Chains A and B, each alone.
Chain A
């Protein structure tokens, strides 16, 4: 069954304490893995798209990496404003019109 699993469900960090969020997937023929950030009461905000194993993308304190089975979102020296829910979604060859979503990781960064 096509599935996306994110871990941990929730993560609490101190400001400056680096960590990683995980998104593991089991789909046939990956056609893109997407990371979004969602603040309370708002729609998901696009962060990154990764297409092939070994690919990496960076934006400010965030870095996304991709292997054949999972993606990591690395957060370096996080700040309180990085607090949000981070969602992962994949598009696959079986149905490239739909995204399969994980449940998200809720990140809280304490000052």
Chain B
């Protein structure tokens, strides 16, 4: 079946602009995760959704970052007033449930802030 999809694959923006990154999880997966990955690093946890609610947003670096999952499927990560330090690959993963099952990743969105 279809895996996790993310759009856009690449996003170039200017410092101070607003961006939205979209994640479409595997059908039937109730848990959804956002990560950020810099070159040579492992994924850095940002936020975890169980259904429509954010069960753990402790990884969001500051209040410029926000994510929603209004219908329990597609999720959008929103970044306000982007900074050059926000440049990274943003990964989305989904799993059947949020506690014990394997996380499957999308291809990522490469965000570049000029």
Contacts and interface: CB of A to CB of B under 8 A. Distances in A.
Chain B binds chain A: yes
For the complex, would chain A's binding face be called helix, strand, loop or mixed by DSSP majority?
strand
A5 to B, nearest CB: 11
A83 interface: no
Contacts of A31: 100
B100 A99 contact: no
Interface residues of A, number: 22
Interface string B30-74: 000000000011111100100000011001000000000000000
Interface string A38-69: 00011111100100000000000000000000
Nearest to A36: B105
Give me the 6 closest cross-chain CB pairs, A-B, nearest first: A101-B42, A43-B105, A44-B105, A43-B107, A43-B108, A97-B56
